[in-house]
């Protein structure tokens, strides 16, 4: 249904960002926390609107902006992730000297870009949304301005991100040249009616996939990930590991969902994705083994998880893809929340040695972090187990048994480095020099919210799965 209301969630997010920028001028350094609460309030409002819009199918701008149920599910996930990231930032940025009002504004702008991406049917609009997200991300990565690592992360992210953008734009040009349109639906129509895939189109599609592969950190386009994750402020790292990944897969799902049959009969793209998926899982997990920085370990683990997610895409199972993304959101933001909480003024504890004995010194942080790590490794009864199980099961049903075998071996390797952190936390003597700021109710509530999410999705996933199935069923098929 064509209605101006389709824009309201997006406008609310942008309005929040502008209000934050405006108020920033009038607030003193000590009172900037209010901006965080204000923006979370706006985002909660946005979330409520998104829930009200369920099944309404509002669209605007000639259908270029469409809030179907799939877009709503992704938007809800992204809004939730942003709220959690904002909440864990409050203490962190004042301790680490990045307490600028534009921090929240940039996060909100990045969210608005992601909302545009998930609710659009036109590759041009998706590209514009991606750029809003990317440009905000480059600035967010470098927001600890005095810290050389942070600036290094920003420049690396900027250079490789714009490099990927150039690929994406060139891919769009070739796509436009062969189909005369950038609407996903008309591209698909062209693909299904065309008797053969011409070279220009195939190269264009390949370049577009490369562009997105950079954003979601698939091997061999992952070089930036560990450095950017290590240098960025930790809550921003949590945001990078979830946000771009969710939107990247949302867009790939939109492109491939209709296109599966044609594309995968030709086998070309299929084989390419297969190889990328294997490389991503194996390389991500193997390099993670020799890392000693917890943020880098989590970076490589997020690369490996992109590989598992790609299996869901190859197996043509949108339900388990979205479920995996939901679980991934909770466990990854949870893990980064635990890392964020280990810090004091001007000091962060991110080396593996710093974690010795944490399990007994700070029992709540240690226990929740352990659960998130178990979930990332895929142990029952956490959500990580079920998510992997659904993905692997549907891949086996579609006849991708070799791929699943490699994936299972890869996740066995991953157990080693996840357990290494847990062993360090519980089986080594705590170092007396390590002191953190423990009184932080907001951080703890996020930690427990993520814990709840991981366990709820692991033990009783029925409700969420039901919603996701509805959203997927409403996707238009050709």
Partner 1 sequence: MIPISYFLILSAVLFALGMVAFFVKKDLITMFMAIEIMLNAANLAFITLAKSASSLNGQVIVFFVITVAAAEASVGLAIILLIFKQKKSVKTEDISLMKG
Contact pick of 112, 165, 225, 302 for partner 1 (by CB under 8 A): 165
Structure-token match 């226990």, residue found: 367
Residue tagged 């369920």 (tokens):
54
Handedness of CA 383, 314, 298, 329 (dihedral sign): negative
- Assess 124 for contact with partner 1 (CB under 8 A): yes
Pick between residue 248 and residue 453 the one whose CB is nearest to partner 1.
248
397 contributes a contact to partner 1 by CB under 8 A: no
How far apart are the C-alpha atoms of 29 and 31, rounded to whole Å?
6
- 464-469: which pairs have CB atoms within 8 A and are 24 or more residues apart? 464/323, 464/326, 465/319, 465/323, 467/73, 468/73, 468/319, 468/322, 468/323, 468/326, 469/319
The verdict on 166 binding partner 1 (CB under 8 A) reads yes
Residues 6+ apart with CB under 8 A from 77: 246, 325, 326, 329
Nearest to partner 1 of 166, 459 (CB atom) = 166
Residue of 53, 104, 158, 239 that binds partner 1 (CB under 8 A): 158
Q: At what angle do helices 234-266 and 69-95 cross, to 10 degrees?
A: 150
Piece in contact with partner 1 (CB under 8 A), picked from 80-88, 123-131, 393-401, 433-441: 123-131
Binder of partner 1 out of 25, 29, 148, 433 (CB under 8 A): 148
Residue (153 or 253) nearer to partner 1, CB: 153
One-character DSSP codes across 181-221: --BHHHHHHHHHHSSS--HHHHHHHHHHHHHHHHHTT-TTS
Q: Which is nearer to partner 1, 135 or 333 (CB)?
A: 135
Q: Is residue 474 at the binding interface for partner 1, with CB under 8 A as the rule?
A: no
- CB nearer partner 1, residue 139 or residue 431: 139
> Under a CB-based contact definition with an 8 Å cutoff, are residues 332 and 217 in contact?
no
CB of 225 to partner 1, least distance (A): 11
* Among the listed residues 401, 171, 399, the one whose alpha carbon sits nearest the alpha carbon of residue 264: 399
C-beta closer to partner 1: residue 223 or 405: 223
Q: How far is the CB of 228 from partner 1 (least distance, A)?
A: 9
One residue of 296, 305, 388, 420 binding partner 1 per CB under 8 A: 296
**Could you say whether residue 230 binds partner 1 (CB under 8 A)?**
yes
User: Is residue 177 within the footprint of partner 1 (CB under 8 A)?
Assistant: yes
Q: CA-CA distances (angstroms) from residue 318 to 382, 395, 470?
A: 21, 12, 11
Least separation, in Å, of the C-beta of 237 and partner 1? Answer: 13
Cβ distance 319 to 453 under 8 Å? no
Stretch binding partner 1 (CB under 8 A), from 37-45, 177-185, 348-356, 358-366: 177-185
Cβ nearer to partner 1, comparing 272 with 289: 289
Residue 217: CB minimum distance to partner 1, A? 16
Applying CB under 8 A, what is the total number of residues that bind partner 1? 44
Does residue 185 interact with partner 1 by CB under 8 A? no
How many secondary structure helices (H) and strands (E) does the chain include? 19, 4
Out of 46, 95, 126, 135, the residue judged to bind partner 1 by CB under 8 A: 135
291 touching partner 1, by CB under 8 A:
yes
Q: Does 172 bind partner 1 (CB under 8 A)?
A: yes
Please answer whether residues 376 and 419 qualify as being in contact, where contact means their C-beta atoms are separated by less than 8 angstroms: no
Do residues 333 and 242 lie in contact, with contact meaning Cβ atoms separated by under 8 Å? yes
Q: Which of 149, 275, 346, 445 binds partner 1 (CB under 8 A)?
A: 149
Give 18 or 289: the residue with its C-beta nearer to partner 1: 289
Residues linked to residue 60 through DSSP beta bridges, in sequence order: 65
For position 247 contacting partner 1 by CB under 8 A, the verdict is no
| Of positions 101, 226, 243, 453, contacts partner 1 by CB under 8 A | 226
Indicate the residue among 10 and 315 with the shorter CB distance to partner 1: 10
Q: Does 162 bind partner 1 (CB under 8 A)?
A: yes
Q: Is 303 in the site for partner 1 (CB under 8 A)?
A: no
Please pick, from the candidates 104, 109, 138, 259, the single residue that binds partner 1 as defined by CB under 8 A. Answer: 138
- Tally of residues, the chain: 478
For residue 46, give the nearest of 20, 3, 77 by alpha carbon. 77
Q: Is 102 in the site for partner 1 (CB under 8 A)?
A: no
Least Å distance, CB 419 to partner 1, is 20
Tokens at 259, concatenated: 């296109």
Which of 13, 208 has the CB closer to partner 1? 208
From first CA to last CA, the distance across the chain in angstroms is 20
DSSP notation for 272-310:
HHHHHHHHHHHHHHHHHHT--BHHHHHHHHHHHHHHHHH
Nearest to 66, CA basis, from 78, 74, 58, 75: 58
Residue 343 main-chain phi, psi, to 5 deg: -165, 160
> Which residues in this chain contact partner 1 in the complex, by CB under 8 A?
124, 127-128, 131, 134-135, 138-139, 142, 145, 148-149, 151-156, 158-159, 162-163, 165-167, 169-170, 172-174, 176-177, 180-182, 226-227, 230-231, 287, 290-291, 293, 296
């Amino acid at each position: 249904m064509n209605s101006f209301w389709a824009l309201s969630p997006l406008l609310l997010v942008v309005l929040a960002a502008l209000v934050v920028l405006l108020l920033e001028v009038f607030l003193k350094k000590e009172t900037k926390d209010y901006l965080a609460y204000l923006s979370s309030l706006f985002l909660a409002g946005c979330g409520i609107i998104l829930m009200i819009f369920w099944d309404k199918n509002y669209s605007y701008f000639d259908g270029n902006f469409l809030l179907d149920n799939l877009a709503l599910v992704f938007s809800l996930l992204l809004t939730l992730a942003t709220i959690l990231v904002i909440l864990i930032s409050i203490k962190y940025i004042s301790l680490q000297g990045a307490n600028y009002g534009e921090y929240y504004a940039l996060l909100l702008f990045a969210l608005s870009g992601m909302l545009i991406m998930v609710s659009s049917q036109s590759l041009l609009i998706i590209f514009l949304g991606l750029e809003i997200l990317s440009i905000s991300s480059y600035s967010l990565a470098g927001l600890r301005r005095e810290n050389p690592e942070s600036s290094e992360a920003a420049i690396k992210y900027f250079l490789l991100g714009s490099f990927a953008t150039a690929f994406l734009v060139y891919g769009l040009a070739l796509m436009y040249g062969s189909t005369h349109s950038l609407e996903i639906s008309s591209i698909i129509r062209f693909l299904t009616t065309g008797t053969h895939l011409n070279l220009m189109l195939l190269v264009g599609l390949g370049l577009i996939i490369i562009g997105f592969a950079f954003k979601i950190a698939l091997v061999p386009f992952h070089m930036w990930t560990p450095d950017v994750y290590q240098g960025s402020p930790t809550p921003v790292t949590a945001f990078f590991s979830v946000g771009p990944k969710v939107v990247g897969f949302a867009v790939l799902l939109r492109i491939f969902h209709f296109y599966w049959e044609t594309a995968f009969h030709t086998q070309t793209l299929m084989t390419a994705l297969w190889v990328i998926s294997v490389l991503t899982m194996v390389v991500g997990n193997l390099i993670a083994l020799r890392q000693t920085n917890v943020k880098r370990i989590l970076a490589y683990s997020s690369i490996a998880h992109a590989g598992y997610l790609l299996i869901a895409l190859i197996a043509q199972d949108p339900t388990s893809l979205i479920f995996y993304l939901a679980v991934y959101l909770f466990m990854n933001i949870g893990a980064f929340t635990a890392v964020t909480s280990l810090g004091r003024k001007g000091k962060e504890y991110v080396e593996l040695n710093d974690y010795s004995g944490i399990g007994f010194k700070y029992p709540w942080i240690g226990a929740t972090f352990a659960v998130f790590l178990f979930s990332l490794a895929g142990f029952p009864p956490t959500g990580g187990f079920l998510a992997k199980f659904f993905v692997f099961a549907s891949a086996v049903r579609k006849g991708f048994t070799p791929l699943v075998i490699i994936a299972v071996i890869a996740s066995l390797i991953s157990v080693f480095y996840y357990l290494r952190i847990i062993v360090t936390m519980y089986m080594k003597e705590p170092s007396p020099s390590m002191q953190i700021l423990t009184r932080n109710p907001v951080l703890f509530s996020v930690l427990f919210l993520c814990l709840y999410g991981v366990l709820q999705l692991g033990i009783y996933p029925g409700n969420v799965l039901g919603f996701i199935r509805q959203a997927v069923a409403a996707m238009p098929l050709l």
